[in-house]
Amino acid sequence: MHPNSYIKTLETMTQSALDQLKKWTTVVADSSDLDAIQKFRPLDATTNPSLITAAASIPDNKALIEAAFDQAKQEGYQNDELIERTIDILTVKFGVEILKLIEGRVSTEVDASLSYDTEATIAKARELSALYHQYGIDQSRVLIKIASTWQGIQAAKVLEAEGIACNLTLLFGLHQAQACADANVTLISPFVGRILDWYKKAENVDHYPIEQDPGVLSVKKIYNYYKQQGIKTQVMGASFRSTDQVLGLAGSDLLTIAPALLAQLESDTREIKPALTIEAAQAADPVERSAQTEQSFREELEHDLMAFQLLQGGIDGFIKAREQLTHLLRQSFGIDAEIQA
């Protein structure tokens, strides 16, 4: 063996899977846990209503919550609107804290209850962007996260044209990915783990080898389609159940990974190679798609039981998480008692 090859092999052996992954893929922390973000030093971070609710339950974040509530009160909001505004301010404040720890961007999600209302989604996204601006954060460091409904994607089209970058989430199929590309969105978050969960239950299968993992294959197909078509929208795999799923998509533009899996990747020393490359995508079987309309999008979604159920289930889950946060804040600040009085 040539001395240089030996040294290179030794370097790879001592590098964690996480460090190797970072060579090909932008690693994103799927977390609002500031300690975890500080530990793993991802370039970007993503949040969602469930993560914000979990973070708000941590005693260390009490001051942040109180500051958000005080600001909403000073702005003149009352009763239900006071809580809604507090949640928006708190969500952005978490984003600001995260941005102090990373060099890249943070994704902040629009209220999921607006997922089927284009105009309301646009208005809420503008509000969130204005809050970041108020806190001195440049627009280039923020992605507004929106569910990949037809209405959400059309909202993103308007926002992108205004210079507000969007991350389209709860994406489970090519029909959604194609609509996002047509809307010129900055980034999509196709889900992996939730697709696997659905197929395991639907097909009564305990385990799929990674080459046959339906979630991994779904994202790979979207990645290949984008690269074959020269689409600029970035692909960020999301919702992972294992490090094998993560590494099965090594080479994707970005991957957003929960802290528990980041820790496993950091202690994993196996040598890894990119599973996705632009060259391999362009050489793969062509992914053919017809021009899309709102009607064809709806028909395709309705005929794809997995995507249909997971999109609606994901929206419902995020709405429930926001409701839990609403309840938590009402209790904390005695809002219900004030209204009754």
- Of 55-64, 83-92, 137-146, 183-192, the range with the lowest mean pLDDT is 55-64
Q: What is the 3-state secondary structure (H, E, C) of 39-58?
A: HHCCCEEECCHHHHHHHHCC
pLDDT at 14: 80
Q: Give me the CATH number covering residue 69.
A: 3.20.20.70
The Cβ of residue 305 has, within 10 Å, a number of other Cβ atoms equal to: 11
Quote the CA–CA distance of 183 and 161 in Å, as a whole number.
9
C-alpha distance across the termini of the chain, in Å: 82
- Asked about 145 being catalytic, the answer comes back as yes
Quote the CA–CA distance of 94 and 336 in Å, as a whole number.
25
Band (105; pLDDT cuts 50, 70, 90)? very high
Length of the chain measured in residues: 341
Three-class secondary structure of residue 160 per DSSP: helix
- Residues 150-203 have pLDDT tens digits of 999 999 999 999 999 999 999 999 999 999 999 999 999 999 999 999 999 999
Whether 141 contacts 20, CB under 8 Å: no
5: pLDDT strictly greater than 60: no
Band (144; pLDDT cuts 50, 70, 90)? very high
Residue 12 belongs to some domain of the structure: no
Quote the CA–CA distance of 275 and 249 in Å, as a whole number.
6
Residue 7 belongs to some domain of the structure: no
- Residues 23-47 have pLDDT tens digits of 999 999 999 999 999 999 999 999 9
Domain count across the chain: 1
pLDDT at 152: 98
Amino acid at site 157: K
Question: Per-residue pLDDT averaged across 17-21, rounded?
Answer: 97
307: pLDDT strictly greater than 50: yes
Question: Per-residue pLDDT averaged across 271-293, rounded?
Answer: 97
| Global confidence as pTM | 0.93
Quote the CA–CA distance of 146 and 48 in Å, as a whole number.
10
Band (103; pLDDT cuts 50, 70, 90)? very high
Please report, rounded to a whole number, the percentage of residues in the chain having pLDDT higher than 70.
Answer: 94
Band (334; pLDDT cuts 50, 70, 90)? confident
286: pLDDT strictly greater than 70: yes
Would you put residue 165 in left (φ > 0), alpha (ψ -120 to 50) or beta? beta
Residue 4 belongs to some domain of the structure: no
Amino acid at site 160: E
1: pLDDT strictly greater than 50: yes
Band (339; pLDDT cuts 50, 70, 90)? very low
323 Cβ neighbours under 8 A, 6+ residues apart: none
Quote the CA–CA distance of 3 and 218 in Å, as a whole number.
41
Residue 1 belongs to some domain of the structure: no
237: pLDDT strictly greater than 50: yes
Instruction: Give residue 65's domain range.
Output: 17-340
Residue 10 belongs to some domain of the structure: no
Residue 105 belongs to some domain of the structure: yes
Catalytic residue among 8, 100, 124, 145: 145
Longest dimension (CA), the chain: 82
Across the chain, mean pLDDT equals 94
Band (338; pLDDT cuts 50, 70, 90)? low
Residue 335 belongs to some domain of the structure: yes
Q: 37: number of CA atoms within 13 Å, CB side?
A: 28
Burial of 74 from C-beta contacts in 10 A (0-12 / 13-18 / 19+): exposed
Look up residue 83 and give its two tokens: 């809580």
Three-class secondary structure of residue 246 per DSSP: helix
Element (H, E) at 106: strand 106-109
Tell me the CA distances in angstroms from 54 to 48, 227, 237, 322, 326, one per residue in order: 10, 36, 22, 11, 12
Residue 78 belongs to some domain of the structure: yes
Whether 309 contacts 198, CB under 8 Å: yes
